[in-house]
Amino acid sequence: MKTISQNHVTMTDVARHLGISKTTVSHALSGKRPINAKLRAEILSTIEELGFRPNFAARIMNTRRTGLIGLLVENLKNPHTTALLEIFSKELERYSLQTVLATTENMDRGRELIAKFSEGMVDGILNFLPGLEPDEAKQLARGVPCVTYLRHAEAPLVLDYSTGLLNALSYLRELGHRKIAFVSIGKRAGSCPVDPCLDVYLQWEFCPHDPSLIFTLHEGTVAGGLEIAEAVFSSSATAVFTGNDAVAAGLYHWAHNHGIRIPDRLSIVGGDNTEMSQQMFPPLTTLDLPVERLALHTVHVLLAAIIPEETLPEPVTIIPELVIRNSTAPIGR
Amino acid sequence: MKTISQNHVTMTDVARHLGISKTTVSHALSGKRPINAKLRAEILSTIEELGFRPNFAARIMNTRRTGLIGLLVENLKNPHTTALLEIFSKELERYSLQTVLATTENMDRGRELIAKFSEGMVDGILNFLPGLEPDEAKQLARGVPCVTYLRHAEAPLVLDYSTGLLNALSYLRELGHRKIAFVSIGKRAGSCPVDPCLDVYLQWEFCPHDPSLIFTLHEGTVAGGLEIAEAVFSSSATAVFTGNDAVAAGLYHWAHNHGIRIPDRLSIVGGDNTEMSQQMFPPLTTLDLPVERLALHTVHVLLAAIIPEETLPEPVTIIPELVIRNSTAPIGR
DNA sequence: CTGAAAGCGCTTACAG
DNA sequence: CTGAAAGCGCTTACAG
């Protein structure tokens, strides 16, 4: 009598139980060739009876498809990231694909993870690591389709933040503002990368070119906004572009604490139209980042590389739209 | 001449290249038995040279370990969920485990996903679906370790929200409040489940027992808070327990819009000490949910079932602590 | 310290 | 419509 360590029921057990071949059992399950209806029913009920479950490892060994997509992100602290993640996950689920999530702030670990993913663990890779270039990511992926967010070469997704920023600045100017401050977020905080934004500001035809109106922040967080709030409010600025909503929230917080009403002394423009921007008081004028469009385009570029029937989306340029709410007002209101 | 569709380099290729057995190559890689140092070096350099990568499918087929943990959540809209997710992911990464994320709001799909996970795709499952009971989840997992958040039987993690709530209510009473309103969140919004909280409130020895002080909400969101704000502010309440921070934010918003300063007419207590609670003005008095402790306990219960050396954590009861900030004040201040 | 060979549990040409 | 058998690329007793 054998000791049975694991009660694995295999396809062979099912076949033997019915006195048929496992070829037939396999085909009954996959539907890849016609099976006598009655036999098929018997197979299905035997599977039920014996509690057979097809083995993942054996299946992927043959099909070379795991139904898994690797997702590489720095962390989940940024609401933009989790919003993207949710949309991906939902969209991939429509294709019966699951997401393998890896978080790392270490680029070398990021490289290792791509290598690990591409040993056959996943069918495709989505790279969100800002420190890992598309070319290198692709090379590490060794033939496994790999798409880098906002920087992939196929059907490029261009986020033209600059034009959005210019629109915001023009709007402030139309309201009469001439002293428009700018918050430069050094470490790229969700929306505005490294800082091309600052260049756009500096090259704007009406740029005040006053160094005391430029505020630099390492992290685009509420705490960051609080840090510079006093300086911003005591500067000569009548309006400010904050780079993102969290920084704007920091300014709000400081203002409320000091009995300053927005936009009385300062008009404020946020940067990514996060959910919080509507909850703030007054509701924040900000640039809208269409997260869903961004996410769907990216995931479909990947899907096109994985699923033969899927077609590559059209290349697209997205200009963040200015959402005017109540944190901005004509000067001297 | 053969057409090579995939340039798969296998362990056999490496062995043949050196005229040795793949047994040795395998052991050189796994370290499971001593290899001549010089030979080992040659193997490693040949692997490098040929670009060999061990095949995931073949490995897990033998070892029956995938290094993957299945994670089942409803969605990623709740900051509590994403905070948990991030801590899990970080902790599992320490054990070289990756997370397979599945989001579904459909319980039947949730059941299917557990079944799919347990076909050998993952080494363990974390269930966060409120609609899927631990017993059923475990049964579906068929021997694959499966831990259900806040409801697992091994080393139970008890979140005693009731005591936290009582502490909050007592604190308000000490401030002199007698008319304390209560927001009951029907659909369980992140923190306060189905609504045992309402029972706690109703059974509190100083409960005002005034139906006009109980407000019911389907969703514990900012919008929900806004919905009931007018009613809350025009009730006889001098203080309110909102169930969660988002609802409190809704009340804030309405108050600001109507020129009402908090806590002048109404003291407000939130419910989960989310990041936003500190950003609000005035900073919100709330109950703290120690997300990291909750997450680590849960993940270690799972790890104990997967890794023989890991020990089960001690059972623990967590009482959310009252964090007193500036949204509460003595009555008649 | 090393190797030959069985085996993991499926899928899929090939043959009928 | 069905089956016998090869093979996916490793790991791991077993033997030396």
Q: Are residues A11 and A102 in the same domain?
A: no
Q: Are residues B182 and B219 in the same domain?
A: yes
* pLDDT tens-digit series, residues A86-113: 999 999 999 999 999 999 999 999 999 9
Residue B197 CA to residue B212 CA, distance in Å, equals 17
Residue type, A24: T
* pLDDT tens-digit series, residues A256-295: 878 888 999 999 999 989 877 887 888 999 999 999 999 9
The pLDDT of residue B187 is: 55
* Residue in B7, B89, B252 nearest the CB of A101: B89
Paired residues of A318 in beta bridges = A159
Q: Are residues A151 and A255 in the same domain?
A: no
The count of CB pairs under 8 A between chains A and B is: 122
Q: Which residues 56 to 85 of B reach strand D, CB within 7 A?
A: 57-59, 61-63
Closest-CA residue to A280 (of A243, A216, A328): A328
Separation between the CA of B27 and the C1’ of D10 (whole angstroms)? 11
> Residue A28 maps to which CATH number?
1.10.260.40
Helix (H, G, I), strand (E, B) or coil at B250: helix
Joined together, the tokens standing for residue B261 give 């300063």
Averaged pLDDT of chain A:
91
B1 in any annotated domain: no
Q: For chain B, how far is it from start to end, CA to CA, in angstroms?
A: 91
A86 in any annotated domain: yes
pLDDT at residue A11 greater than cutoff 90? yes
Q: Give the neighbor-by-neighbor strand order of the sheet with B239-241.
A: B214-217, B180-185, B239-241, B267-269
CA pseudo-torsion sign B181, B187, B190, B195: positive
Evaluate if the CB of B12 falls below 7 Å from strand D. yes
pLDDT tens, N- to C-terminus, chain B (333 residues):
333 334 689 999 999 999 999 999 999 999 988 999 999 999 999 999 999 999 999 999 999 999 999 999 999 988 889 999 999 999 999 999 999 999 999 999 999 999 999 999 999 999 999 999 999 999 999 999 999 999 999 999 999 999 999 999 999 999 999 999 999 987 544 444 457 788 899 999 999 999 999 999 887 888 889 889 999 999 999 999 999 898 998 898 888 878 888 999 999 999 989 877 887 888 999 999 999 999 999 999 999 999 989 999 999 999 999 999 999 999 875
Is the CB of A119 less than 8 angstroms away from the CB of B93?
A: no
Give the closest nucleotide to A58 (alpha carbon vs C1'): C10
B323 in any annotated domain: no
Contact residues for B35 (Cβ-Cβ < 8 A; gap 6+): B24, B27, B28, B43
Q: Under a CB-based contact definition with an 8 Å cutoff, are residues A214 and A184 in contact?
A: yes
Name the residue with higher pLDDT: A254 or B294. Answer: B294
Q: Are residues A258 and A282 in the same domain?
A: yes
Q: Are residues A152 and A272 in the same domain?
A: no
| DSSP sequence for B156-205 | -EEE-HHHHHHHHHHHHHHTT---EEEEEETT--SSS-TTHHHHHHHHST
Q: Are residues A194 and A257 in the same domain?
A: yes
Q: How many domains does chain B have?
A: 3
pLDDT at residue A194 greater than cutoff 80? no
Paired residues of A321 in beta bridges = A288
Joined together, the tokens standing for residue B70 give 């299945």
Q: Are residues B267 and B186 in the same domain?
A: yes
Q: Are residues A242 and A209 in the same domain?
A: yes
pTM attached to this predicted model: 0.89
Residue B171 CA to residue B252 CA, distance in Å, equals 20
Final residue of a domain: which of A25, A47, A63? A63
Paired residues of A317 in beta bridges = A158
The pLDDT of residue A333 is: 58
A146 in any annotated domain: yes
Evaluate if the CB of B12 falls below 7 Å from strand C. no
Query: Angle B99-B103-B104 (CA atoms, 0-180°, nearest 5)?
Result: 150
Paired residues of A181 in beta bridges = A240
Place of tokens 């808070």: B225
Q: Are residues A284 and A163 in the same domain?
A: yes
> Residue A197 maps to which CATH number?
3.40.50.2300
For chain A, give the percent of residues with pLDDT over 70.
Answer: 95
The pLDDT of residue A257 is: 78
B80 in any annotated domain: yes
B316 in any annotated domain: no
A255 in any annotated domain: yes
Final residue of a domain: which of A17, A46, A63? A63
Q: Under a CB-based contact definition with an 8 Å cutoff, are residues B302 and B124 in contact?
A: yes
Evaluate if the CB of B20 falls below 7 Å from strand C. yes
pLDDT at residue A124 greater than cutoff 80? yes
Nucleotides of chain C touched by protein CB (<7 A) = 1-5, 7-13
Q: Are residues B73 and B132 in the same domain?
A: yes
The pLDDT of residue A224 is: 87
Q: Are residues B129 and B249 in the same domain?
A: no
Evaluate if the CB of A18 falls below 7 Å from strand D. no
pLDDT at residue A2 greater than cutoff 50? no
Q: Are residues B297 and B285 in the same domain?
A: no
- Per CB-CB distance under 8 Å, the chain B contacts of A85 are 76, 101
Closest-CA residue to A35 (of A48, A45, A25, A49): A25
Is the CB of B76 less than 8 angstroms away from the CB of A82?
A: yes
Final residue of a domain: which of A41, A63, A85? A63
* pLDDT tens-digit series, residues B177-207: 999 999 998 754 444 445 778 889 999 999 9
Range of the domain at A185: 159-289
Query: Angle A208-A211-A217 (CA atoms, 0-180°, nearest 5)?
Result: 115
